[in-house]
Amino acid sequence: MAKIVRYFLFIVFTGALVACNRNIQQSTQEKHSDIKIFFTPGTKCENNVIERIKQSKKVDIAVYSITNPAITNAIISAYKRGANIRIVTDKTQAKGKKSLVSQIRATGIPVLTNKKHKIEHNKFAVFDDVHVVSGSYNWTTNATNYNSENCLFFDQPDMEYSKRFEYLWKIYSE
């Protein structure tokens, strides 16, 4: 009788472990199913950045360099349709020969450059305070066409990217 009870408990315990493992795997997959990762060269980073800009009512951008005309046009179009756009970027890169920052500023979009840091080397944007793109991807034509870079799209945990953007906006406004 004791053998039967032990065997029965073994079967129940093993079944519970298998079910628990399935739930953990499913939960982990659900948590990470919204993360999208792309690499360059190629247009997937560029196209997904543009698509997010088009869908958003608010975009906070912290990038090192902006020379990509397609992304620049999406930023300007979003601003003209009423989206709230703010940009922090690197002061040296903003003055560069291929930079499109002056074109962006000319439309009235607020752009700040680094004052407290040697360089503004971030590469992230927050869309509607929820969605984020981050990674090594610069918003440049070279990044899209020639460089080995990456971008990750995900929903921000604990508003950390928004907090960082607000911090940068504040110190570069002073």
Task: Please give the structure tokens belonging to residue 15.
Answer: 């079944």
β-bridge mates for residue 153, sequence order = 36, 133
Length of the chain: 174
- Find the mean pLDDT for residues 36-52: 98
Asked if 155 and 130 touch (Cβ cutoff 8 Å), the reply is: yes
What's the CATH number where 114 sits?
3.30.870.10
Q: What is the mean pLDDT of the chain?
A: 88
Whether residue 28 lies inside any domain: the answer is no
pLDDT at 27: 45
Whether residue 25 lies inside any domain: the answer is no
Whether residue 42 lies inside any domain: the answer is yes
Half-sphere exposure of 22 (CA within 13 A, CB side): 6
Whether residue 16 lies inside any domain: the answer is no
Report the domain count for the chain: 1
Whether residue 91 lies inside any domain: the answer is yes
For residue 25, is pLDDT > 90?
no
Whether residue 162 lies inside any domain: the answer is yes
pLDDT in tens, 78-111: 999 999 999 999 999 999 999 999 999 999 999 9
Instruction: List the domain range (segments joined by +) for residue 49.
Output: 34-173
Whether residue 18 lies inside any domain: the answer is no
Whether residue 26 lies inside any domain: the answer is no
Task: Please give the structure tokens belonging to residue 90.
Answer: 């690197």
